[in-house]
Chains A and B, each alone.
Chain A
Amino acid sequence: MKNYVEHIEAVEKENYDRYVKSVTPTTSMPKNMLNAFLVGGMICLIGQIINNAVMNFGVDKVVAAGWTNVVLIGLTVLLTGLNIYPKIGKYGGAGALVPITGFANSVVAPALEYKVEGQVFGIGCKIFTIAGPVILYGIFSSWCLGILYWITQTL
Chain B
Amino acid sequence: MVVGKQSVIFDNPPFIKSMASIVGKKEGDGPLGPEFDRIVEDAKFGTDNWEAAESMFQTETAKLAITKSGLQKDAVRYVFAGDLLGQLIASTFGLAELEIPFFGLYGACSTMGEAMSLGAMNVAAGYADYVLALASSHFASAEKSFRFPLEYSNQRPFSATWTVTGCGAVIIGKEGNIAKIEGVTTGKIVDYGVKDSMNMGACMAPAAADVIYRNLKDLSVDCNHYDKIITGDLGVVGRTILLDLLNDRGVDISSLHYDCGIEIFDNSLQDTHSGGSGCGCSASVLCSYILKQLESGNWKRILFVPTGALMSPISFNEGNSIPGIAHAVILSAI
Contact of B199 among A19, A20, A27, A113 (CB under 8 A): A20
Residue with the highest number of chain B CB atoms closer than 10 Å, among A13, A16, A23, A25: A23
**B contact residues around A97 at 8 Å (CB):** 153-154
Contact of B158 among A26, A105, A108 (CB under 8 A): A26
Q: In this assembly, does B255 line the interface, its C-beta being within 8 Å of a C-beta of chain A?
A: no
Quick one: CB contact mask for A114-146 with B, threshold 8 Å, 1 for yes?
A: 101000000000000010000000000000000
Chain A contact residues, majority secondary structure? helix
Is there contact, CB below 8 Å, between B151 and A80?
Answer: yes
Q: How far is the CB of B54 from chain A (nearest CB, A)?
A: 13
Q: How far is the CB of A103 from chain B (nearest CB, A)?
A: 11
Q: In this assembly, does A48 line the interface, its C-beta being within 8 Å of a C-beta of chain B?
A: no
Given A27-B157, A89-B154, A116-B49 in contact, is the A17-B149 Cβ separation under 8 Å? no
Residue with the highest number of chain A CB atoms closer than 10 Å, among B148, B152, B196: B152
Complex Cα distance, B265 from A142, in Å, reads 48
Complex Cα distance, B158 from A20, in Å, reads 13
Is there contact, CB below 8 Å, between B151 and A109?
Answer: yes
**A contact residues around B240 at 8 Å (CB):** 23
Q: How far is the CB of A95 from chain B (nearest CB, A)?
A: 11
Quick one: CB contact mask for B23-54 with A, threshold 8 Å, 1 for yes?
A: 00000000000000000000000001100000
Q: How far is the CB of A125 from chain B (nearest CB, A)?
A: 14
Is there contact, CB below 8 Å, between B149 and A113?
Answer: yes
Complex Cα distance, B154 from A26, in Å, reads 16
Q: In this assembly, does B251 line the interface, its C-beta being within 8 Å of a C-beta of chain A?
A: no
Q: How far is the CB of A19 from chain B (nearest CB, A)?
A: 8
Quick one: CB contact mask for B169-196 with A, threshold 8 Å, 1 for yes?
A: 0000000000000000000000011101
Is there contact, CB below 8 Å, between B150 and A113?
Answer: yes
Q: In this assembly, does B225 line the interface, its C-beta being within 8 Å of a C-beta of chain A?
A: no
Quick one: CB contact mask for A84-112 with B, threshold 8 Å, 1 for yes?
A: 01111110010011000010011011101
Count of chain A residues with a beta carbon within 8 Å of a chain B beta carbon: 34
**A contact residues around B155 at 8 Å (CB):** 27, 89-90, 93
Complex Cα distance, B150 from A27, in Å, reads 22
Contact of A90 among B148, B153, B237 (CB under 8 A): B153
Complex Cα distance, B157 from A85, in Å, reads 18
Q: In this assembly, does B326 line the interface, its C-beta being within 8 Å of a C-beta of chain A?
A: no
Complex Cα distance, B158 from A16, in Å, reads 19
Is there contact, CB below 8 Å, between A112 and B193?
Answer: no
Q: How far is the CB of A48 from chain B (nearest CB, A)?
A: 22
Q: In this assembly, does B165 line the interface, its C-beta being within 8 Å of a C-beta of chain A?
A: no
**A contact residues around B206 at 8 Å (CB):** 16
Known: A20-B199, A110-B149, A130-B149. 5 other contacts (CB 8 A): A24-B157, A25-B159, A90-B156, A110-B152, A114-B149
